[in-house]
């Protein structure tokens, strides 16, 4: 059975916020903050909740940037909706299933898990 998740793209001053995943799949790899939707939760509520849990940041969605449904993108069969977000409040601090949280220059990103590089590239196109 396929699952649904939401991923957040937060860019500030030419830097992208990423988390290092604490658990499999993709443990130890850099990723966009996000996670699976709960019952009775909208996609937007999911991404706000996941950002708070993983990064300690309060955000609000700015723009939907894409839906990623390749069955091989994640071994759990996760379909992801991605959104550009803006910070409302908070300072980055790793939590939940994020081992670390860090800012990276857009032109010096680390290797990203799954299809997160494509998600970021699509979001950058949307920003222009």
Other CB atoms closer than 10 Å to residue 38's CB: what's the count?
A: 10
Distance CA 90, CA 100 (A): 16
Tokens read off for 95? 């939590």
Considering the candidates 60, 100, 105, 121, report the single residue annotated as catalytic: 100
Clarify whether 100 is annotated catalytic.
yes
| Positions marked active-site | 100
């Amino acid at each position: 059975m396929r699952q649904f998740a939401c991923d957040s793209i937060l860019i500030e001053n030419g830097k992208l916020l990423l988390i290092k995943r604490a658990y499999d799949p993709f443990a130890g790899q850099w990723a966009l903050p996000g996670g699976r939707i709960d019952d009775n939760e909208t996609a937007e509520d999911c991404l706000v909740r996941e950002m708070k849990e993983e990064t300690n940041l309060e955000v609000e969605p700015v723009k939907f940037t894409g839906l990623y449904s390749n069955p091989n993108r994640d071994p759990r069969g996760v379909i992801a909706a991605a959104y550009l977000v803006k910070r409302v409040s908070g300072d980055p601090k790793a939590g939940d299933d994020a081992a670390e949280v860090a800012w990276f220059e857009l032109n010096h990103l680390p290797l990203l898990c799954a299809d997160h590089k494509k998600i970021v590239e699509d979001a950058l196109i949307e920003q222009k």
